[in-house]
Structure 1
Amino acid sequence: MRVSFSAALALAGICIAGAAHAHGPTRQKVVETITIDAPADAVWKRIKEFGDLGWHPAVEGTTATDGNKVGSVRTIALKGGGTIVETLESYSDADHKYGYRMKDPGPVPVNNYTSTISVSGSGATSTVEWRGAFYRAFLNNDPPPEQNDEAAIKAVTGIYKSGLDALKKSVEGK
């Protein structure tokens, strides 16, 4: 059986279009920064303990299995209920930076979430950068609104902004 060139081209176009439609979610990224009127060492001192998120307004309490050692698992109890479980993947006191991964995102509509938080600066001013990469909670096509890309981005952005705002107030004493 011979297939004409135009028939083969049409079939290839259908296959490509179908594959493009069924690709699933794409990795999302959120980066938030804040400038704090305090030296970097003072800001780092406030956030450097992996097992202490007392500076974040959504957090009721935290525990960590092994402090600031890579592999430590922290469980975050949220105000209003719910928990998040995260694993410390990198830690550098000298660089004022650590990275972690959510093992169980709890109420946060994300999947395969990794994040870093770092403090930099010189003199009396510092900058805190909180960045994350993740997929939406619903990994198949046609996610429900509460588990789509927009919901994931909104949730992570809200976590970062509210945390950084509270950190600034805590460190600056305002």
Structure 2
Amino acid sequence: MKFILIALLSSLLFPLSTLAHGPTPQKAKESIVINASVEAVWNAVKQFDAIANWHPDVKASAGDGKHESGGIRTITLQNNGQLIEELDYYNDQDHEYNYRLKTENVKAFPTSSYSISLQVKAGDDAGHSEVLLKSRFYRGDTGNSPPENLNDEAAVAAMNQFFKNGLAGLKQKLEN
């Protein structure tokens, strides 16, 4: 009898647990081929705190000058919102670094957290490079019913546009 009662209660409560869910991680990935050597492209992007020199969505950037795990930069976007980011990994030899959002600011950018990887590698043709940006992130509102401006779709659209604009800006800077 005790077993039947436990089984009955479990079957009644199980469906309720499926209604409670949080956000799922989202991903973005963009790349571009640039008519410039790996060294030329890497020289343009390797200064973690100088993203404003090539990314059109970034009005200003400043940092502590560290190009190693723990390095910090503050970027000011065109909407005047600021994001503070921290380097997790930096490898000059492999032309790659990874960083993450250190301080959330959903008014500036509709994500509550993100990690981004930037890598420069040789392209298929001599004298060409491929730049790859990848990210894993969560929407700005991690509740079960986020508003439209902070939901998964808004976060994915913002991250993809940020990547596309940045890569196009880098290409324009290096090829013109």
Q: Which amino acid aligns with 2:134?
A: R
State TM-score, norm by structure 2: 0.89
Q: For this pair of structures, how many residues does the alignment match?
A: 171
Conservation of the 8 A alpha-carbon contact between 2:104 and 2:113: no
Distance in 2 separating the partners of 1:83 and 1:35: 29
Residues 41-85 of structure 1 show CA distances to partners (whole Å, capped at 9, x for unaligned) of 111111010010110001111111133122111011122311111
Q: What residue is the counterpart of 1:26 in the other structure? A: 24
Show structure 2 runs of 5+ residues with no match: none
Q: What residue is the counterpart of 1:112 in the other structure? A: 113
Q: What residue is the counterpart of 1:38 in the other structure? A: 36
- State yes or no: 1:151 paired with 2:154: yes
Alpha-carbon RMSD across the aligned residues, in angstroms, is 1.8
> Residues 4-153 of structure 1 correspond to what in structure 2 (within 5 A)?
4=4, 8=7, 11-53=9-51, 54-106=53-105, 107-122=108-123, 123-153=126-156
Q: CA deviation at 1:21?
A: 1.9
Q: 1:80 to 1:148 in 2, by over 3 A?
A: closer
State TM-score, norm by structure 1: 0.90
User: How high is the sequence identity, in percent, across the aligned residues?
Assistant: 37
Q: CA deviation at 1:94?
A: 0.3
Q: Which amino acid aligns with 2:81?
A: G
Show structure 1 runs of 5+ residues with no match: none
Q: Which amino acid aligns with 2:111?
A: V
Residues 145-173 of structure 1 show CA distances to partners (whole Å, capped at 9, x for unaligned) of 11110011011011000000111111111
Q: CA deviation at 1:140?
A: 1.3
Distance in 2 separating the partners of 1:91 and 1:14: 51
- Runs of at least 4 residues off by over 4 Å: 1-5
